[in-house]
Amino acid sequence: MNPWLGWGLAALFLALAWQSYGWRGALVACSAIVFWLLLQFNRSVRVMKNASGAPVGHVASAVMLNARLRPGMTLLEVIALTRSLGTKLDADGHAWAWQDESGSRVVLHFSSGRLARHALERPAEAAPPAP
C-alpha cells in the first residue's frame, strides 16, 4: 500500500471517530492505528528472523526465484520469498543478488523501494575436457 494513502486513511478514520464519538472515538481510532503499526512491525521482524538463519545471498533455485518475481515487489517481500538476505551489489542499495548452488544468480534492481527490473544470469558452460 502507498504510505500516503495509508496515513491518509488513518487520519480520515481518526477524524471520523472524533466527529462521531468525541475523545473516546479518537482514543479507539488511535488504538486501532497503533495496533496496525505493531502488526506491520511484527511482520518485518518475523521476515528478518527467518532470513537470519540462511547464508547471505543464497537461494535454493535462482530460476524459480526469477519466475516468482514481479515488478513492484518491495525488498521485504523478496526477502520473505527467498528466506535469505541478499548480497548488496552497489553502495546505494539499489542492486541486490541471490545465487544458487549451480552458480546461477538473479540480480534485482530497485527504484523508489520497489522492484524495477530483474535478470537471471547463468554461468558459462564449461568446455568439455579434450581427450
Tens digits of residue pLDDT in 3-23? 788 889 999 999 999 999 999
Q: In what order do the strands lie in the sheet with 95-99?
A: 87-88, 95-99, 105-111, 114-121
- Mean per-residue pLDDT, 64-70: 93
Q: What share of the chain has pLDDT > 70, as a percent?
A: 95
pLDDT of residue 131: 65
Q: Which residues pair with 98 in a beta bridge?
A: 106
User: Residue 49: is its pLDDT beyond 70?
Assistant: yes
Q: Parallel, antiparallel, or unpaired for β 95-99 and 87-88?
A: antiparallel
User: Residue 30: is its pLDDT beyond 90?
Assistant: yes
* Domain limits, the chain: 3-51, 55-121
- Mean per-residue pLDDT, 86-107: 90
Residue scoring higher pLDDT (122 or 1): 122
Provide the CA 126 distance to its chain's centre, in angstroms. Answer: 35
**Domain 55-121: CATH architecture, name and number where available:** 2-Layer Sandwich (3.30)
